[in-house]
Amino acid sequence: MMPSLSRSGSVLITSTGSLRSERRIAARAVEDVLGLRTEEQELEEDPAAKSINPARRQADAYKTVQSLSRHGSWNGLQLHITGLDIYFDGYNYCFGLAFRDTAIVSVYRLRTTDVAKYIERLRKEVVHEVGHLLGLRHCVDSRCVMFFSNTVEDTDLKGVEPCKACRSRLLS
């Protein structure tokens, strides 16, 4: 059974101090789009740094979310924002990954000189990963935030909101 928005509690959003602005943008996106409460926590070290694969020079997103999920004392959903390039098996890179109650979003490939576009990309990826934490799967509607982004251009084309079908799944 998928958790409904009303039963999801709040989302803990973490990052290092260098990504404080991104953490605040992520918190606002979760609150504005999904209506969930958020709490923010600044970390001294990026937990993704502990899962860097030296051959790839990327952090393993799956290992990072597993570690965060096992070692956290938080009872709700958790989202970590990292500046490191991340991947998971079978993919050259990913923008984010959600597993059980924990997700990670990397800003590494979302960055651009267009600040408004960067913020919009971050908002979309944050809402997408928290959508997975709430039980949503990838959507076939290319305008839906839950549409799978294979490239950053795919992210640019989709919206920040869940489509009507995905929204109804969240509210059921």
163 falls within a domain: no
This prediction has a pTM of 0.93
- Residue 125 is encoded by which pair of tokens? 């990826």
CATH, residue 129 = 3.40.390.10
State the catalytic residue, choosing from 39, 129, 153, 161. Answer: 129
pLDDT computed for residue 8 by the predictor: 56
Residues 80, 158: Cα–Cα separation, whole Å: 22
Which residues does 165 contact at the CB level (< 8 Å), separation at least 6?
139, 141, 144
65 falls within a domain: yes
4 falls within a domain: no
69 falls within a domain: yes
Residue-wise pLDDT for 67-124, tens only, equals: 998 766 667 899 999 999 999 999 999 999 999 999 999 999 999 999 999 999 999 9
161 catalytic? Reply is: no
